[in-house]
């Protein structure tokens, strides 16, 4: 999505939602940032917990897949005819550190060995840490080596000699077992640990490359393995003690560009800034704290082959009728999946509409001066999506009409605006076609990748909540087609359908198929008016009738009008970014690229992009699933 957006800001709301669900299911509540404004939030601790959680989950899930591609090409060896084990998960092939834990009894010298696979290395530091003055003999290479070997003395009862004795345990790792990528948690939580990282007068503690020596049975390999630093995440502590996270990345494509300071870039929320290598590797004060480091093994670059990883979605997913509902009612199935000869091509027209439910109400507080502060913004989630054929003999026939299953607690079904009722999203109760969010997202992403043209009403907000980027050239929004810049008013789908199509829609509730079909017909009508040369005339008539009827269709004769819907609250705009290029830190100056002003302040909150909840400006309040325009 980021690649397709070409610089447009993108949210990771689906990713954050999935992580939140997994964290709750595994009782890992320390991973969840509830958006509270607190000085006690330790983002260094949180990001390292999340780092281990994510890597372990990806590896365990990937290792269950029977057909993983081979990413790390083996060295040339004689052919083997025995049965080969299944290929490990991609994350295990890249980060897996396969060694042995060797435990030796200090009394009888009995040895126990146990195979051990880890994907992440926590750095450990000497108990008596001296400052990085160059005279202590402690450098980053020695700390990394000690962290890999992890030599520990502990007491236990020996099963061989039956004595309560000291045991020495260490990790035995041959050079060939060192992975292509080393993932490190810096584990800097004490002042003494951070003192090692601080710059001295001669050099920085962290260099662009480090030589790692493997160890087998307590003996170091003569030849070291060279690793190059590729990226890291650091915690920045502002003057008011509030902290945030930034990523510093060495971009390979930028290494040959001479117009840059260096190939190093800092990603500070939505701000991306090129910095020098000296600034990237420097730790001038305790306002900059390392948390995560990624290092690439130099001699294995040519052995990595990513061509086997899937880079496109199987198009047949649009031809399958999938549902996890146990009580699906065949009479409520309104869609026909695409036949293989109907699979979309670039330029294929599709009409789309989506409905949403509220997962989190906005939490606010009112101050004594009358101002309002948003503590937690509202959050909406996709509940139903319908996609219709936009042309051909089956024009207007849906091929996707999926309700989306969610395991989260729904605080408001927004039935008046969404048409979703209690039980519609529960696989044990729902009578509709119920599908996991991931499957629905793959269908929509496939339509985007195949170059379909999406027709709908108020699509920008819908796509934002769905968390999918659709290139502007693939979007036709009827809210923009029937719009006069001089009037500065967007017209609702209901009013447009009444005036242009002569149809009264949304009488009782909203139906996504009906809304998508109305948007499609409005698009067809727009082309007819253009061909006849009367579109501008129709647009003027449309606005005159709108003023006459207060922008609502007149009530149908003989029908008692329903109670008026509450007005949609306008979306709250994000507060302007506050940028302080001269934030002074305890004896040092924070470079502008690291300043907390690079963050977007939403409702008074300074929320890191990676963990932060989506803002109210992105989702609006209840019923705002149609964007800022009335329906």
Model confidence pLDDT, tens digit, residues 298-310 = 999 999 999 888 8
Q: Give residue 609's pLDDT band: very low, low, confident or very high (50, 70, 90).
A: very low
Q: Give yes or no for residue 40 having a pLDDT over 60.
A: yes
Q: Both tokens of residue 156? A: 């236990």
Taking the C-alpha atoms of residue 247 and residue 243, their distance in angstroms, rounded to an integer, is 14
**pLDDT value, residue 401:** 96
SS3 393: coil
User: Directed axis angle between helix 13-25 and helix 43-62, to 10°?
Assistant: 80
CATH code of the domain covering residue 389: 3.30.420.10
How far apart (Å, rounded) are the C-alpha atoms in residues 428 and 445? 28
Neighbour-count burial of 91, counting CB atoms closer than 10 A to its CB (0-12 exposed, 13-18 middle, 19+ buried): buried
Structural domain tally of the chain?
Answer: 2
CA dist 430 and 419 (Å) reads 14
Residues 251 and 358 in one domain: no
Angle 533-534-539 from CA coordinates, rounded to 5°: 135
Section 63-90 average pLDDT = 79
pLDDT number for residue 203 = 81
In a domain? residue 107: yes
**CB–CB of 621/569 below 8 Å?**
yes
Whether residues 253 and 327 share a domain: the answer is: no
CA angle 612, 606, 10 (to 5 degrees): 45
φ, ψ (nearest 5 deg) of residue 267: -110, 100
**Of 47 and 241, the one with more pLDDT:** 47
Question: 426 and 288 in one domain?
Answer: no
User: Quick check: is 10 in a domain?
Assistant: no
Residue 363 has pLDDT above 50, yes or no: yes
For residues 145 and 278, state if they share a domain. yes
Between strands 288-297 and 225-237, the pairing is: antiparallel
pLDDT at 485: 81
Residue pair 519/510 in contact by the 8 Å Cβ criterion: no
CA angle 283, 287, 291 (to 5 degrees): 70
Same domain, 283 and 401: no
Are 297 and 178 in contact by the 8 Å Cβ rule? The answer is yes
pLDDT tens sequence across 132-160: 555 566 889 999 988 988 888 888 888 88
Spatial distance between the Cα atoms of 346 and 7, rounded to a whole number of angstroms? 23
328 and 255 in a common domain? no
Let me know if residue 535 belongs to a domain: yes
Q: Side by side, which strands form the sheet with 453-456? A: 434-436, 398-405, 379-389, 349-360, 453-456, 475-477
| pLDDT at 213 > cutoff 90 | no
Output 159 or 227, whichever has higher pLDDT.
227
Which of residues 529, 549, 569 is at a domain's end? 549
> ∠ CA 585-588-593 to the nearest 5 degrees?
75
Given pLDDT bands bounded at 50, 70 and 90, which one contains residue 130? low
234 alpha-carbon distance from chain centroid: 19
Q: Are residues 116 and 252 in the same domain?
A: yes
> Helix, strand, or coil here: 252?
helix
Half-sphere exposure (Cβ direction) of 383: Cα atoms closer than 13 Å: 31
129 vs 572: which has the higher pLDDT: 129
First to last CA, the chain: 29
Residues 6+ apart with CB under 8 A from 552: 492, 494, 495
Is the pLDDT score of 616 beyond 60? no
pLDDT value at residue 576:
39
Residue 32 lies in a domain: no
Say which residue, 66 or 530, is predicted with more confidence.
Answer: 530
- Select from 517, 549, 581 the last residue of a domain: 549
Confidence of residue 589 (pLDDT cuts 50, 70, 90): low
> Residues with Cβ < 8 Å from 594, sequence gap 6 or more?
236, 246, 266, 268, 287, 288
Q: For a pLDDT cut of 90, what percent of the chain falls above it?
A: 46
Are 155 and 295 contained in the same domain? Answer: yes
What value does the mean pLDDT of the chain take?
83
> Would you say residue 226 lies in a domain?
yes
Shared domain check, 344 and 223: no
Measure CA 450 to chain center: 23
Q: Is residue 170 domain-shared with residue 207, that is, in the same domain?
A: yes
Q: Which of 7-11, 261-265, 329-333, 510-514 comes out lowest in average pLDDT? A: 7-11
Helical spans, DSSP H, in 419-555: 437-449, 459-466, 478-481, 493-496, 512-532, 535-548
Q: Which segments of 209-287 are extended strands (E)?
A: 209-212, 215-216, 219-220, 225-237, 243-250, 264-268, 271-275
What per-residue confidence (pLDDT) applies to 520?
96
Of 549, 578, 601, the position where a domain reaches its end is: 549
What is the reported pTM?
0.78
Highest-confidence segment of 83-87, 266-270, 287-291: 287-291
pLDDT band at residue 26, thresholds of 50, 70 and 90?
confident
Q: Which residues are CB-neighbours of 281 under 8 A, at least 6 positions away?
A: 204, 206, 207, 208, 229
Confidence band for 567, pLDDT divided at 50, 70 and 90? very low
Among 582, 557, 572, residue whose Cα is nearest residue 504:
557
The answer, yes or no, to whether residue 603 has pLDDT greater than 50, is no
Which range is least confidently modeled, 60-74, 116-130, 475-489?
A: 116-130
The continuous run of DSSP H or E covering 194 comes out as helix 191-197
d(CA 497, CA 536): 17
Distance CA 97, CA 174 (A): 10
What pLDDT is stored for residue 119 in this prediction?
93
Do 186 and 321 lie in one domain? The reply is no
- pLDDT band at 622, cuts 50/70/90? very low
At residue 404, the pLDDT reads: 95
Whose tokens are 């052919």? That residue is: 79
Q: How much is the pLDDT for 3?
A: 67
The pLDDT tens digits of the residues spanning 457-466 come to 999 999 999 9
In a domain, 627, yes or no: no
pLDDT of 209 > 90? The answer is yes
Q: Structure tokens of 95? A: 């980060």
295: which 2 tokens?
A: 């290092």
**Residue 438 phi, psi dihedral angles, 5° rounding:** -60, -40
CB 243 within 8 A of CB 41: yes
Instruction: Give the whole-angstrom CA distance, residue 170 versus residue 501.
Output: 77
The DSSP call for residue 559 is S
- Does the pLDDT of residue 557 top 70, yes or no? no
N residues, the chain: 631
pLDDT of residue 573: 37
Residue 102 lies in a domain: yes
Query: What percent of the chain is modeled with pLDDT above 70?
Result: 83
Q: Is the pLDDT reported for residue 332 higher than 60?
A: yes
Range(s) of the domain holding residue 96: 40-58+90-127+139-303
**Of 83-87, 97-101, 522-526, minimum mean pLDDT range:** 83-87
Looking at the structure, do residues 253 and 203 belong to the same domain, yes or no?
yes
Query: Would you call 109 exposed, middle or buried from its count of C-beta atoms within 10 A (0-12, 13-18, 19+)?
Result: exposed
Q: How far apart are CA 487 and CA 438, in angstroms?
A: 41
Among 199-213, 534-548, 604-618, whose mean pLDDT is lowest?
A: 604-618
C-alpha 355/C-alpha 512 separation (Å) is: 7
CATH of the domain at 164: 3.90.70.10
pLDDT for residue 180? 95
Residues 6+ apart with CB under 8 A from 329: 431, 432
> pLDDT tens-digit profile of 366-386?
888 888 888 888 889 999 999
Q: Is residue 105 part of a domain?
A: yes
Residue 171 has pLDDT above 80, yes or no: yes
């Amino acid at each position: 999505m980021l690649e397709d957006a070409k610089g447009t800001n993108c949210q990771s709301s689906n990713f954050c939602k999935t992580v939140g669900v997994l964290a709750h299911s595994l009782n890992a509540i320390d991973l969840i940032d509830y958006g509270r404004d607190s000085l006690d939030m330790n983002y260094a601790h949180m990001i390292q917990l999340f780092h281990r959680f994510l890597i372990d989950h990806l590896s365990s899930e990937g290792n269950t897949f029977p057909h993983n591609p081979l990413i790390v090409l083996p060295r040339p060896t004689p052919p083997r005819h025995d049965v080969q084990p299944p290929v490990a998960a991609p994350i295990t092939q890249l980060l897996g550190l396969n060694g042995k834990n060797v435990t030796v009894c200090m009394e009888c010298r009995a040895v126990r060995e146990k195979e051990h696979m880890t994907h992440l290395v926590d750095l450990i530091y000497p108990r008596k840490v001296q400052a990085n003055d160059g005279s202590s003999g402690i450098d980053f290479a020695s700390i990394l080596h000690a962290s890999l070997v992890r030599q520990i003395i502990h007491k236990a009862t020996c099963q061989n000699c039956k004595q309560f004795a000291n045991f020495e345990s260490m990790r035995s790792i041959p050079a060939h077992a060192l992975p292509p990528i080393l993932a490190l948690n810096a584990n800097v939580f004490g002042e003494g640990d951070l003192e090692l990282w601080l710059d001295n007068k001669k050099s920085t503690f962290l260099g662009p490359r480090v030589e790692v020596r493997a160890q087998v049975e307590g003996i170091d390999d003569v030849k070291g393995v060279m690793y190059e630093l590729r990226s890291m995440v650091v915690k920045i502590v502002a003057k008011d003690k509030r902290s945030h996270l930034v990523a510093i990345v060495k971009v390979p494509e930028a290494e040959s560009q001479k117009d840059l300071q260096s190939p190093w870039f800092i990603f500070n929320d939505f701000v991306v800034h090129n910095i020098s290598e000296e600034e990237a590797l420097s730790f001038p004060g305790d306002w900059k704290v390392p948390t995560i480091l990624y290092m690439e093994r130099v001699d294995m670059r040519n052995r990595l082959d990513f061509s086997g990883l899937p880079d496109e979605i199987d198009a047949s997913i649009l031809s399958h009728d999938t549902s996890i509902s146990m009580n699906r009612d065949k009479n409520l199935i309104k869609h026909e999946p695409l036949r293989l000869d109907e699979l979309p091509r670039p330029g294929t027209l599709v009409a789309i509409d989506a409905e949403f439910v509220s997962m989190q109400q906005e939490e606010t507080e009112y101050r004594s001066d009358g101002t309002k502060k948003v503590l937690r913004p509202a959050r909406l989630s996709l509940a139903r999506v319908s996609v219709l054929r936009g042309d051909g003999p089956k024009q207007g026939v849906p091929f996707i009409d999926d309700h989306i299953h969610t395991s989260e607690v729904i605080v408001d079904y927004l039935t008046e605006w969404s048409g979703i009722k209690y039980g519609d999203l529960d696989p044990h109760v729902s009578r509709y076609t119920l599908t996991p969010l991931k499957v629905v997202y793959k269908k929509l992403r496939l339509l985007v990748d195949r170059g379909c043209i999406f027709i709908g009403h108020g699509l920008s907000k819908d796509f934002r909540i769905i968390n999918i980027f659709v290139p502007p050239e693939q979007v036709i929004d009827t809210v923009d087609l029937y719009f006069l810049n001089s009037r500065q008013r967007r017209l609702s789908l209901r009013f447009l359908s009444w005036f242009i199509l002569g149809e009264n829609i949304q009488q009782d509730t909203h139906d996504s198929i009906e809304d998508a079909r109305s948007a499609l017909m409005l698009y067809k009508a727009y082309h007819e008016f253009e061909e006849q040369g009367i579109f501008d005339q129709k647009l003027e008539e449309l606005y005159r009738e709108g003023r006459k009827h207060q922008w609502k269709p007149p009530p149908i004769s003989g029908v008692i009008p329903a109670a008026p819907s509450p007005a949609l609250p306008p979306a709250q705009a994000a507060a302007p970014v506050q940028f302080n290029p001269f934030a002074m830190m305890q004896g040092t100056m924070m470079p502008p690229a690291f300043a907390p002003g690079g963050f977007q302040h939403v409702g008074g909150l300074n929320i890191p992009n990676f963990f932060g909840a989506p803002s109210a400006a992105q989702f609006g309040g209840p019923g705002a699933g149609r964007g800022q325009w009335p329906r």
